[in-house]
């Protein structure tokens, strides 16, 4: 899937159409201080094995792609609903 880097879209905060800058949303590093991560570290510490069963089956052929659009006027960003694609590329 190819997408232009600049797209004319509706900005909900400006309430008008502007030329938005598109960027791919990447997963940031998970915080070690969150309750789930602390629980996971506690359970996997020591001589015990992995706390959850390994996922069955194969990996999915497509990945979900989240795209963030940033308005140049108000500098606010908003996301479109995610789409599935094998390849994703932002064009100039």
Instruction: Give the integer Cα–Cα distance in Å for 86 and 62.
Output: 5
User: 2 lies in which domain range?
Assistant: 1-26+63-92
Instruction: Give the integer Cα–Cα distance in Å for 34 and 46.
Output: 20
DSSP run (H or E) holding 40: helix 35-44
82 part of a folded domain: yes
Looking at residue 20, which CATH number applies to its domain? 3.10.450.80
38 part of a folded domain: no
Q: What is the pLDDT of residue 23?
A: 95
- Predicted structure pTM score: 0.74
> Tens digits of per-residue pLDDT, 20-76?
999 999 988 989 999 999 999 999 998 878 888 888 888 889 999 999 999 999 999
Q: What is the pLDDT of residue 10?
A: 96
8 part of a folded domain: yes
6 part of a folded domain: yes
31 part of a folded domain: no
Q: How many domains does the chain have?
A: 1
Which DSSP letter does residue 38 get? H
The answer on pLDDT for 84 being more than 90 is: yes
Q: Could you count the other beta carbons within 10 Å of the beta carbon of residue 20?
A: 22
48 part of a folded domain: no
């Amino acid at each position: 899937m190819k997408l232009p880097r600049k797209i004319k879209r509706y900005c909900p905060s400006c309430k008008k159409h502007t030329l938005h800058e598109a960027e791919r949303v990447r997963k940031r590093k998970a915080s070690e201080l969150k309750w789930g991560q602390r629980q996971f570290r506690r359970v996997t510490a020591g001589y015990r094995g992995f706390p959850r069963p390994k996922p069955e089956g194969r990996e999915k052929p497509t990945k979900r792609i989240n795209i963030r659009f940033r308005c140049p006027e108000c500098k606010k960003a908003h996301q479109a609903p995610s789409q599935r694609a094998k390849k994703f590329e932002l064009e100039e």
